[in-house]
Structure 1
Amino acid sequence: MDSLPTSAETGAFPRREVPLPSRLATGDLAWASVAAVLHCAGISRAPQPDPDRIAMAYRSDRLFRIDGEQPTVWSPFSGFWQTKNGWVRTHGNYPHHARALCLGLDLTEGASADDLRSMLATASVQESVERITRAGGLAVAVARENPQYDAALRSRPLVEIRRIGNEAPTRPKAPSRPRASRLTSETAAQAAPLVGIRVLDLTRAIAGPVCTRTLALLGADVLRIDPPHIPEPEWQHLDTGHGKRTTLLDARSEQMTALLEEADVVVLGYRPAGLARLGLSPGQLGERYPGLIIVQLSAWELDQPDRAGFDSLVQAESGIALIESADGEVPGALPAQALDHSAGYLLASAVCAVVDQRVHEGGTWHITTSLRRIAAELLGMPRRDAPEREREIDPAMHTQNFSVDGHALITAAPVLPGFSFAPPRPWGRDAPQW
């Protein structure tokens, strides 16, 4: 196996229009990504996914409420900024990235978005990006698409699956443990294919957590691990943390080694170079832990191992932002963080496929994709001359309510028919153990 099933092989779910208005085929990508999970999880007898539910899940940040309030999703330091010779896109949602951005541009503590705008207006695109990235911040030039590069990316699998490391014997699924998801009677008999599978979640932001949230929904025991010194925005974790336990742990600790020794799957979402320095590269993990399924998500391709990134930055540099421009000049964006969400569902589908294959063939496995590879796929799909008209959807039909740590929570409901989420848990409060 070197890739996921083709769209023809997932034909049990004929495509339906997902209302994510854009020039690019965002809705088609979303539909295919969700259908891949259902196919690879072996629950093709379930009802077809609801296209409105998919659209709402891809825009989950718009539905999210905590104690009736919608959190501020974007930092004032995240956005498109005009320079003297073009546009740049910055990302400062994490405080350490915002600090680095300001440091690179010599902005003082307490600087505002207006200060950032004024500074960038007098600089060039190249100078701005170089200064910000040199200081450890995140910025890219808003670029036009590169059809030749995208075609080269599309010549490789959308999600690559291969054996690595030491040979390992077949590994039957572990005895059933308590499930993190809840199932309706219609799907209970055929669903939860990952019961007994232990997953270490070393991801943050959206794409990786969507993957592991889906694995938890399918029955896996998911333990999310974060470094103690980099807090996660509360809303972001609660929006993607359903059914997982969550702990804070140094990746070089003996406890991490013990967890890896008993894990079936580890999902990696940090920069490849940083993982290698911690001894957590796929090659290192494959050698030490035969039989492990190693899932690696990066923003950019693996030939840029030191480079960090997010969906919005990939949209800007890949040409998507200019394609989605309303006037051909000011950059635009997809109607959702669609690269993130699609990557999450596609990786979850690959895990389901490999878990089944490992039962019969054994082996140590490496599953990988990047947001940039997802972008290339989207750029190769049919386009519209203009976005379709926005259609109103009743959000109450596509949400779940929870009480978490004394707070009333409203989140998007799952896209898999017949499933409902177990509640997310407070970030970092669980013990680092299975």
Structure 2
Amino acid sequence: MTSVASAWSALGGDPALLARVSAVERPAVLRARLPVREAARACVGACALAAAELGARRAGLAAVPAVRVDDGAVAAAFTSERHLRVDGRAPVAFAPLSRFWPAADGWVRTHANYPHHRDRLLTALGVPDRPEAVAAALAERPAREVEESVHAAGGLAVALRTAEEWTAHEQGVTVGGLPLVERERLDSARTRTRPLTGRDPLLPAAGLRVLDLTRVLAGPVATRTLALLGADVLRVDAPWLPELPDQHADTGFGKRSARLDLTAGRDTLEELLATADVVVTGYRPGALDRFGLTAEALAERRPGVVVARLSAWGDRGPWGDRRGFDSLVQAATGIAALEGAARRPGALPAQALDHGTGYLLAAGVLRALTEQTDEGGSRVVRVALARTAGWLLEGAAAAGAGGVPVGRAAEAPADAWLAERDGPLGTLRHAVSPVSFAGGPDDWARPPGPWGADPARWE
């Protein structure tokens, strides 16, 4: 069931705290065949409750602050990349080669927003950078053959599957057996979480250092949320892998951004890790292991750390080492087939797997920090887009069922959930955060700055 109660249970939260959550339902937003609106509300509501719980614990409050989730704010946040304006300019949308294509026996979904992914796709197909050439090549080949050949070349393409086909796939079986949020205590290290000295606003993550080693959407959404809640978030990227400018502007609120070669800059990396409270990784499983960034290695070097790990397909099974994006996961897991029409694949009304998984990851970090105050211990939290997709599919039969009181209000325009902020990138129109609780923050401490412009050190 895609309810706040379901998400909160997956996070190990006390069910009695669900009474602190109320919601405003707006049936017109995020409309889809699947219960996208309910799932989005659940992810945000659970995250807000985890924030309120940690804030109350660190500040010594007698009661957890009340949480209010508004579908309007949630919908605006889940489509934040569409609402972004930079000095009035709309963001650049998907690249021309990122789309569904007819194959010889079905459909293929490709992702080529980044230049290196585009080049690998073209290499695998043996065609020039022209949509008509790609279309002709794909039309002659079976979809699953394309899936494997593009993957072998380091590119990104998946065959369209039904939900039943994904359930029978070995990776579907593997990820289907995982919890929505995997949570593990690694040792008995003492907690380092400090009491809050100020409460106006209540910032549950104040004073915590978060090393952000994520890209694209779900990971940056999680760390953007931790930044809202007071964490010192430093995002670190490889100098040769620049982020898409509009994507960086949308997800960079509250953070600093640095460039660092993890091989040549190993000493700098170690200095950052030495005082990091939370390490969030979002690269392909195994890609960062050689730098000593496994959860176990981090806990050994920095006892009491919280490690948050995000993947597309889960970190086990035959696809456990594959790259992936929201659109590809929708295609592989049967979501695109269910949302399609007239034998053509469709899509959710938002990149809901990315956004929802991002809020679940942030919630997992917050709950781990709360549990540390009682039990200590280094912690690891794992989430996967494909597992969130499975949860959404599982909740289809129970769409609208919830575990929190729901009040109704008139529909509000999206503008009600947008704000403007001046900063180094210009005047930004952006979606406000939907994570809201009594006494909590309503804006980020800083706007996003240029990608990679900050020094790779803690403030």
TM-score of the pair, normalised by structure 1 = 0.90
Q: Does 1:198 align with 2:209?
A: yes
Q: 3-state SS of the aligned residue for 1:272?
A: coil
- The answer for the alignment partner of 1:184 in structure 2 is none
- The answer for the alignment partner of 2:262 in structure 1 is 251
Report the Cα distance in structure 2 between the residues aligned to 1:160 and 1:292, rounded to whole angstroms. Answer: 16
Q: Does 1:134 align with 2:152?
A: yes
- The answer for the alignment partner of 1:17 in structure 2 is 25
Q: 3-state SS of the aligned residue for 2:310?
A: strand
1:141-168 CA distance string (max 9 Å, x none): 100113467687555421111112x541
User: 1:174 deviation in Å?
Assistant: 7.1
Report the Cα distance in structure 2 between the residues aligned to 1:154 and 1:126, rounded to whole angstroms. Answer: 21
Structure 2 vs 1, CA of residues 159 and 103 (structure 1 numbering), >3 Å: closer, same or farther?
A: same
Q: Does 1:53 align with 2:63?
A: no
Q: Does 1:74 align with 2:88?
A: no
User: 1:255 deviation in Å?
Assistant: 0.4
- The answer for the alignment partner of 1:427 in structure 2 is 451
Report the Cα distance in structure 1 between the residues aligned to 2:145 and 2:176, rounded to whole angstroms. Answer: 31
Q: 3-state SS of the aligned residue for 2:116?
A: helix
- The answer for the alignment partner of 1:168 in structure 2 is 189
User: 1:358 deviation in Å?
Assistant: 1.6
Q: Does 1:414 align with 2:428?
A: no
Report the Cα distance in structure 2 between the residues aligned to 1:432 and 1:268, rounded to whole angstroms. Answer: 17
Report the Cα distance in structure 1 between the residues aligned to 2:16 and 2:148, rounded to whole angstroms. Answer: 44
Q: Does 1:27 align with 2:48?
A: no
Is 244-253 or 19-28 further displaced after alignment?
A: 244-253
- The answer for the alignment partner of 1:267 in structure 2 is 280
1:301-353 CA distance string (max 9 Å, x none): 111342000011000000000000122x1000100000111111111111111
Q: 3-state SS of the aligned residue for 2:286?
A: helix
Report the Cα distance in structure 2 between the residues aligned to 1:154 and 1:101, rounded to whole angstroms. Answer: 29
Find 1:379's aligned residue among 393, 396, 411.
Answer: 393
Kept after mapping to 1: 8 A contact 2:315/2:321: no
Q: 3-state SS of the aligned residue for 2:163?
A: coil
User: 1:176 deviation in Å?
Assistant: 6.3
Kept after mapping to 1: 8 A contact 2:235/2:256: yes
Report the Cα distance in structure 2 between the residues aligned to 1:15 and 1:400, rounded to whole angstroms. Answer: 22
- The answer for the alignment partner of 2:334 in structure 1 is 319
Kept after mapping to 2: 8 A contact 1:63/1:411: yes
AA partner of residue 170 (structure 1) = T
AA partner of residue 443 (structure 2) = S
User: 1:96 deviation in Å?
Assistant: 0.5
Report the Cα distance in structure 2 between the residues aligned to 1:87 and 1:357, rounded to whole angstroms. Answer: 45
Structure 2 vs 1, CA of residues 374 and 120 (structure 1 numbering), >3 Å: closer, same or farther?
A: same
After TM superposition, the structure 1 = structure 2 runs for residues 204-223 of structure 1, keeping only pairs within 5 Å, are 204-223=215-234
Kept after mapping to 1: 8 A contact 2:25/2:70: no
Q: 3-state SS of the aligned residue for 1:424?
A: coil
Is 359-368 or 199-208 further displaced after alignment?
A: 359-368
Kept after mapping to 2: 8 A contact 1:29/1:378: yes
Structure 2 vs 1, CA of residues 14 and 129 (structure 1 numbering), >3 Å: closer, same or farther?
A: same
AA partner of residue 310 (structure 1) = F
Q: Does 1:336 align with 2:336?
A: no
Q: Does 1:359 align with 2:373?
A: yes
AA partner of residue 194 (structure 2) = K
Kept after mapping to 2: 8 A contact 1:23/1:383: no
After TM superposition, the structure 1 = structure 2 runs for residues 83-162 of structure 1, keeping only pairs within 5 Å, are 83-108=103-128, 111-146=129-164, 147=167, 153=175, 156-162=178-184
Question: Unaligned regions of 5+ residues in structure 2, if any?
Answer: 1-8, 54-63, 400-409
Kept after mapping to 1: 8 A contact 2:284/2:311: yes
AA partner of residue 362 (structure 1) = G
Structure 2 vs 1, CA of residues 190 and 162 (structure 1 numbering), >3 Å: closer, same or farther?
A: farther
1:382-423 CA distance string (max 9 Å, x none): 3499xxxxx985232111212232522111111123511331
State the percentage of identical aligned residues. Answer: 41
- The answer for the alignment partner of 1:369 in structure 2 is 383
AA partner of residue 118 (structure 1) = A
Report the Cα distance in structure 1 between the residues aligned to 2:15 and 2:22, rounded to whole angstroms. Answer: 9
Kept after mapping to 2: 8 A contact 1:2/1:162: no
AA partner of residue 123 (structure 1) = R
Kept after mapping to 2: 8 A contact 1:404/1:425: yes
Q: Does 1:309 align with 2:324?
A: yes
Structure 2 vs 1, CA of residues 140 and 151 (structure 1 numbering), >3 Å: closer, same or farther?
A: closer
State the number of aligned residues.
415
RMSD: 2.4
1:112-155 CA distance string (max 9 Å, x none): 22221121111111222222111110000100113467687555
